Chains A and B, each alone.
Chain A
Amino acid sequence: MKPARFRYLRAASVNDALQALAENPDAQILAGGQSLIAMMNLRLVKPACLIDINRISNIGYIDEDGDGVAIGALARHNDVKHSPLIRERCPLLTEAYESIAHHTVRNRGTLGGNLCHADPSSETPAVMVATGATLMLQSLRGQREVGAEDFFLGTYETARRQDEMLTEIRLPGRRTDGWAFAEISNRHGDFAIAVIATTLRIEDGRCEAARVVASGVGEHAARLEPAEEALIGGPIDDARLDAAAAAAAGAVDPHSDSHADAAYRRDAIAALTRRTVRRAAARCD
């Protein structure tokens, strides 16, 4: 055993888990463990108590939800990645999964755990923000809905309160939106150096709505509004592409680390914006 000592509780139901969360303010939920256990083994985190939700039945679903999709807390990365429903209704997420982690990690890790972990270079928060997903948080005190844009607050920091469990992720229907995802990493499957997830609506050759969301270049996934504004109001032509790319680069304030420096990240954001906008425009119905 490499982690520091902890208590282990196994929840049989969501209610069980909520009860345990309320009673143990220093507890953490254990989902796939692909982020949490690694950090515990390095003793970077030392939760006093783990609440294992893996034995709760019927929370790994991926279901129709109106014209959107509802994803349960325990849906594994690989289930989401290979879901035909998601490919049809939220293909942006399917495309993003081409770049997320490795087979074994995806077999165990969950989308819900991934979002709660809120790694600043994770791909999925960008997709959630780009598609306008809603996260359902539940506690003994009740249930609330938080829009993805309001959920990610900082590095490993979310709007989830200590006694809340993320129980469901709701993805809206795609309607006529075009979409594209692109990232750069040093090695395929690694956390990203820079990510852009883009959705566009084009009507009569005119860009009506756009979301350009970056990850890996700030504390959390965030929309690059100047880039969106540069796109809206006309056709997606070279001038708009250039303007959006420049605006995207100007809208981020990236950090430097051993994987990439700030200047490169900024340039990468411009390149990825250009690439995703071009592809998303081509995919508009």
Chain B
Amino acid sequence: MYVGQAIRRREDERFLRGRGRFVEDITLDQPIAHAAFVRSPHAHAAVTHVDTAQAAAMPGVLAVLTGADWTAAGHGEAEGVWPVKDMSGADSRTAYRPLICVDGVVRCVGEIVAMVVAEDRHQALDAAEAIEVAYEEKPANTITAGALDPDIPLVHPAFGTNEVMVTEHGLKEETEAALANAHHVTEVVVPTNRVTAASMEPRAYLGHYDRVNDRYTVWTTNQAPHIVRRYFTKSLHIPEHKLRVIAPDVGGGFGMKLYHYPEEGLVLWGAIVCDRPVRWVGTRSECLLGDTHARDHHTVGRMGFDENGKILGVKFETLAAFGAYESQWQASITNAYHFTMLSLAYDIPAIHTQVRAVYTNATPVDAYRGAGRPEAVYQVERMIENGAQEMGIDPLELRARNLIPPEKFPYQTALGITYDSGDPPVLMGKIKALADYDALRAEQARLRAEGQWMGIGISAFFDMAGAGPVKMMNDLGAKVGCYDVASVRVHPDGRITVFAGSHSHGQGHETTWSQIAADRLGCDIDHIDLVEGDTDRVPMGIGTWGSRSLSTAGMAVYTAADRVVAKAKRMAAHMMECAPEDLDLADGEFTVKGTDRKLSFAAVANASYHSGDRPSDLEIGLEETSFFDPADCTYPSAIHLCVVLVDPETCAVTLRNYWAVDDVGTVINPMVLHGQVHGGLVQGIGQALMEECAYDAESGQYLSGTFMDYAIPHAEDVPSFGLDAHFTRALGNPLGAKGAGESGTIGAPACICNGVIDALWHLGVRQITQPMTPKKIWRAIEDAKRTQH
């Protein structure tokens, strides 16, 4: 059995030796030209004039293109894949992100106004600098909390409001009643900070048009190449069968690389216009500005408790930033991934949530690792922490009293979602032991007496992973079917190629998909190759996002492999003159049960392609494809616990310990699981302590355009993690696997913030907006001092 083994990642040798093949590494017969972009320096402005004459005459320049050219060519814009209606039933006020400014107004810093294509990158950049754009600045707003206030500038005046849509979910009356009758009500205002994925590889695209065969090719840093074809049907009006999309090695995606970014469409346009392949590789600054941002909620919440700390109801009102335009998947976050998960790991009888999506003059917001669930966990867990502190109940004990007990599974939340399996009390018991919780509380008391500020943070939650089923996701708004696809091709020599519609950009599918296939096919893992990320080779795919690949594409691999085995057994049975049911397949050989008669898998494969002696109703060949539509989402769960120390003089936070106990169902490869949890935790720690896409409130200027200004954690900023696991089987797929990509980012921000609040509660601090930099903690303490006096 390969499944369950910590097999070393088969892809790592290539990456560690610098032999990965990324978009920037692609070479072609024709010399590749380069694109450079002129971007708006203003958060909101009318573009009154664009003068390209000087740039067009510069050395090496092949084309200078503007929005006017785009419109003249009849091109369009990419549609969203997850349109959602307002609760009134009306369509939401959607303005999709344009590929290039076409209506004479730029609505956020970084919006593309013109493109230069030149022989080399240097020439393209020089020419881009020579383009003169005249702007007339307009008032801008980048602040989510105030987006609907009177007198706030409108991002899209045609709508008459900055509101994209309002949605409500849950039990309104029951929640009001629960709060009215509660023994204690906690109220907290919790803004979730705006962050971005900051993937190691910046976004990059290469477009090519083959005029002879009338075929287009795009190499792209994308997580879902087949969906890219769909975007192009609307942006450049290219039929899906004419476009080949290749996502080669990609260095990190985190949801951020799911979209039809302006540069992706524009390089192919440039290639068509110039009859030359055109490439763009983003700089870090372009990416920190232009990659989709994430989170950016402003939430007011109220939670009611009975006298024992049992949660009776919780109510949320959230403003959720969309940025200047609606990015293609953004509506899925507020409307499929946020409200659904607000019950976390708790048995809460009444929940009601209202979300108003708003436009601001800022970079569009979309999915980033966790997408909606980190916000949900943060919002709920902050209420629970403050409630426990206010009621004088130990925060872990109060949580334990509210966990969903195992006998309630499958558990339907107050929001109508049903968790198939899980056992939160076991997770709580494990983390309590792992962290030696009681000793930590004793240490905290001792340190506090010495004037040291130590805090213990906790968060407990469920994730919704593994989208679909198709129908359920359609019902939540998806226009793309949330299944996935795999083909298992056995070659005549018995070696195997697996084609999967998922895409690995760090997840290690070459290892884990091969582990699954090798077990099903009873073969050596080294006899399997995996192909992903090429629409001409893989039949179809919905891609890798939302911790879905294992329970969709991975299950398609499983299913297709089983079909291959079933067919091969019929051929083998014919050759061995027995019944297919009498055959076992292991170690590359068919054996007749209870005998020593054997036939190699390779011989059967060869016969499947080349022998005329076969059952009359058996088709030639040995290749099967599965379009796998899961029976349910998966619901991984976890509990996190951390220890923070806050320096009383400088207010700097040290994250001293971090523990996590995960239930991700069946584990394919524990090392890959740990890698996923570690990486997610570090990103969650970044959100809690240092990461922020900041805008100047007055000018709308973007302040986080370099890694000097946008801080991501270094290895030395995080402790060594203490991980444990507990397994309950997922019921929606045959392997019982739940998906593990997002647990870290989902749980860490809430956990760490609760730890800091716990450290400072005795000083009167009740809430600190993340990232909790020293200045914010200092300010919170100063404010608390002032209100107490």
Which residues of A pack against B, CB within 8 Å?
1-2, 4-5, 41-43, 102, 184, 186-191, 193, 258-261, 263-264, 267-268, 271-272, 274-275
Contact = CB atoms under 8 A, between A and B. Distances in A.
A43 B129 contact: yes
A188 B717 contact: yes
B353 to A, nearest CB: 31
Most buried by B among A260, A261, A264, A268: A264
B774 A268 contact: yes
Q: Nearest 6 A-B pairs (CB), nearest first?
A: A271-B649, A264-B775, A260-B775, A1-B122, A187-B711, A258-B703
Contacts of B716: 188
Contacts of B126: 4-5
B778 A190 contact: no
B708 interface: yes
Contact of A189 (B692, B714, B773, B778): B714
Interface majority SS (helix, strand, loop, mixed), chain B: loop
Contacts of A267: 778
Contacts of A4: 126, 129
B775 A275 contact: no
A225 to B, nearest CB: 23
B717 A193 contact: no
14 contacts: A1-B122, A1-B125, A2-B125, A187-B713, A187-B714, A187-B717, A188-B714, A191-B708, A258-B704, A258-B709, A259-B775, A261-B779, A263-B779, A264-B651
B5 interface: no
A260 B652 CA distance: 12
Contacts of A189: 714
B656 to A, nearest CB: 15
Contacts of A190: 708, 711
B281 to A, nearest CB: 11
B690 interface: yes
A275 B648 CA distance: 12
B213 interface: no
Contact of A264 (B120, B285, B696, B778): B778
Contacts of B703: 258
A42 B778 CA distance: 33
B315 to A, nearest CB: 33
A45 B260 CA distance: 33
A102 B707 CA distance: 13
A227 to B, nearest CB: 16
Given A260-B774, A261-B775, 4 more contacts: A43-B129, A184-B650, A187-B713, A190-B711
A41 B716 CA distance: 28
Given A187-B711, A264-B778, A1 B649 contact: no
Contact of A187 (B650, B651, B690): B690
Contacts of A42: 285, 706
A186 B774 contact: yes
Interface string B757-787: 0000000000000000111001100100000
Contacts of B125: 1-2
B181 interface: no
Contacts of B285: 42
A190 B782 CA distance: 25
B694 interface: yes
Contacts of B649: 271, 274-275
A184 B708 contact: no
A5 B652 CA distance: 43
A2 B782 CA distance: 45
A187 B716 CA distance: 10
Contacts of A264: 651, 774-775, 778-779
B283 interface: yes
B183 interface: no
Contacts of A186: 690, 711, 773-774
Contacts of B690: 186-187
Contacts of A268: 650, 774, 778
A264 B774 CA distance: 8
Contacts of A187: 690, 711, 713-714, 717
B774 A102 contact: no
Contacts of A271: 649-650
B121 interface: yes
A272 B716 CA distance: 22
A5 to B, nearest CB: 7
A2 B713 CA distance: 26
Interface in B639-696: 649-652, 690, 692, 694, 696
B775 A272 contact: no
Contacts of B773: 186, 259-260
Nearest to B36: A2
Contacts of B775: 193, 259-261, 264
A184 B774 contact: yes
A197 to B, nearest CB: 16
Given A1-B122, A186-B690, A102 B714 contact: yes
A41 B651 CA distance: 35
A267 B780 CA distance: 14
Interface string B690-734: 101010100000011010110101101100000000000000000
A271 to B, nearest CB: 4
A233 to B, nearest CB: 25
A272 B774 CA distance: 13
A189 B129 CA distance: 33
A263 B717 CA distance: 26
Nearest to A272: B650
A258 B708 CA distance: 11
A137 B398 CA distance: 67
Contacts of B782: 263
A8 to B, nearest CB: 14
A73 to B, nearest CB: 25
A258 B775 CA distance: 10
Contacts of B120: 1
Nearest to A5: B126
Interface in B124-149: 125-126, 129
A187 B712 CA distance: 8
Nearest to B716: A188
Contacts of B122: 1, 5
A140 B69 CA distance: 56
Contact of A193 (B121, B692, B696, B774): B774
A48 to B, nearest CB: 14
A2 B283 contact: yes
A275 B647 CA distance: 12
A259 B738 CA distance: 39
B41 to A, nearest CB: 13
B144 to A, nearest CB: 17
A41 B284 CA distance: 11
A272 B652 CA distance: 12
Most buried by B among A41, A187, A193: A187
A191 B717 CA distance: 15
Contacts of A191: 708
A255 B559 CA distance: 62
Contacts of A275: 649
A256 to B, nearest CB: 9
A264 B696 CA distance: 19
A187 B689 CA distance: 9
Contacts of A272: 650
Most buried by A among B649, B690, B711: B649
Contacts of B652: 184
A190 B121 CA distance: 31
Nearest to A43: B129
A114 to B, nearest CB: 15
Nearest to A261: B775
A190 B714 CA distance: 11
B97 to A, nearest CB: 25
A55 B121 CA distance: 29
Most buried by A among B285, B690, B778: B778
Nearest to B711: A187
B774 to A, nearest CB: 6
A100 to B, nearest CB: 14
B129 A1 contact: no
